[in-house]
A and B are shown apart, each in its own frame.
Chain A
Amino acid sequence: MPADRISLHPRGLRALARAGALAAMLWLSPAHAVDAPPAGEVAPTVAADPRLEADVQELAHKLRCLVCQNQSIAESNAPLALDLRNQVREQLAAGRSKQDVVDYLVARYGDFVLYEPPVKGITLLLWGGPAALLLAGIGWLAYRVRRRAVESAAVTALSEAEHARAQALLAGGAPGDAPPSSANRESRS
């Protein structure tokens, strides 16, 4: 895909550049800076009813903008995001439920518009993967811990002879080869 397929959001880019400059100057968070309506844009409409507008915003934050893929349609300034926001607002105002609106967009743009992927066959690994990895990790750890316990139990069990030798060593005797004396060690340093 050539890089010049940005035709849908020349304004978005410019607005972003402007917002970036603004953010650098004023130390604003970029999320706030790009909220400014870009020049030449059809003025962003806002529903008169604040509760409806809150619903619109809530939904818009859950929907991905297909042009600026890491932004929701609430954050993005791409013309398409604006169109989709207006669609959401219009349809909610017409009395359709949030689920209706989500279905409407999914039917056109696919699951990709959802920031939270739905649980279904193809996303099973995505949703279940972390839990499966965690369980596998716990299982492996339990196995290793148990095996180490068995191994160390086998090591700690001393034979009669070993036991006697250890006792002798602890008592200060030198059966067989003597350990290096402290005098030897000091003379080396």
Chain B
Amino acid sequence: MKAKFLVPLFLFLGLAGFLAFGLTLNPREVPSPLIDKPAPAFTLARVDDPAQQFSLADMRGKVWLLNVWASWCVACRQEHPVLVDLARRNLVPVVGLNYKEVRGDGQLDARGMALDAETGLAVERARRWLGEHGNPYVLSVLDIDGRVGIDFGVYGVPETFLIDGNGKIRYKHIGPITPENLQQVILPKVEEVRRAG
């Protein structure tokens, strides 16, 4: 019991250890409750041809990525070359979810805009952006009002979901994908999901 005076020191060190660990966590990365749950079903108009619809069920049997993007999203520009490179290497199909293309843009006043007009503008803007930066997507769909985004628990752009052949979400990446993220986390996850079935 001679070392009793050291007890507060060890209590302090324990607390400091916890706090130091806390500093390494990112409070902006909120874990998704949708992991290993069926992806929310949706049917949305395609950017390449708004008359055509794309449904979640269309990708059944494939392991694929759903990437949330928008032309007004700055971080998407940072991420985009990584996706273009991924598409060139033909490793995993990526579907784009164009999120609130018009009404999400802070520079634009979309109040009172008719849905048809908004859709037309969204298509035009999305195509122009893909033309400028390259199109890594198998196809992109328009989430005009962000409702599908809410179903997926999207709270920022970009976000990327890994969906397996049964339509289950297996992984969510929050924020722009870096080449390191892709090589060290996402592609190994894709392999793992593919092996699992």
Contact A107 B75, CB 8 Å, known A1-B174, A14-B106 = no
Smallest Cβ distance from B154 to chain A, in angstroms? Answer: 8
The answer to whether A108 and B26 touch across the interface, beta carbons within 8 angstroms, is: no
The answer to whether B150 and A7 touch across the interface, beta carbons within 8 angstroms, is: no
Contact A7 B75, CB 8 Å, known A2-B175, A2-B176 = yes
A69 to B109, CA, bound (A): 26
**A35 sits at the interface (CB 8 A):** no
**A98 sits at the interface (CB 8 A):** no
Write the A62-86 contact mask toward B (1 if CB under 8 angstroms, else 0).
0000110100000000011001100
| Interface-side segment among B31-39, B130-138, B186-194 | B31-39
Within the complex, which residue of A1, A5, A11, A84 is in contact with B106, where a contact is CB–CB below 8 Å? A11
**B153 sits at the interface (CB 8 A):** yes
Residues from chain A with Cβ under 8 Å of B76 in the complex: 7
Instruction: Mark out the residues of chain B between 99 and 113 whose CB falls within 8 Å of any chain A CB in the assembled complex.
Output: 100, 103-104, 106-111
The answer to whether A42 and B150 touch across the interface, beta carbons within 8 angstroms, is: no
The answer to whether B175 and A84 touch across the interface, beta carbons within 8 angstroms, is: no
Contact A42 B33, CB 8 Å, known A69-B27, A87-B150 = no
A66 to B159, CA, bound (A): 14
Size category of the A interface is 20 to 34
For A70, give the chain B residue with the smallest CB separation: B27
**A127 sits at the interface (CB 8 A):** no
A47 to B106, CA, bound (A): 25
Q: Which of B29, B31, B107, B155 has the most A CB atoms < 10 Å from its CB?
A: B155
Residues from chain A with Cβ under 8 Å of B72 in the complex: 7
Within the complex, which residue of B74, B111, B175 is in contact with A42, where a contact is CB–CB below 8 Å? B111
**A179 sits at the interface (CB 8 A):** no
The answer to whether B155 and A7 touch across the interface, beta carbons within 8 angstroms, is: no
Residues from chain B with Cβ under 8 Å of A108 in the complex: 33-34, 150-153
For B104, give the chain A residue with the smallest CB separation: A79
The answer to whether B74 and A7 touch across the interface, beta carbons within 8 angstroms, is: yes
The answer to whether A8 and B157 touch across the interface, beta carbons within 8 angstroms, is: yes
Interface residues of B (CB under 8 A from A): 26-34, 70, 72-76, 78, 100, 103-104, 106-111, 145-146, 150-153, 155-157, 174-176
Interface residues of A (CB under 8 A from B): 1-2, 4-8, 10-11, 14, 39-43, 66-67, 69, 79-80, 83-84, 87, 106-112
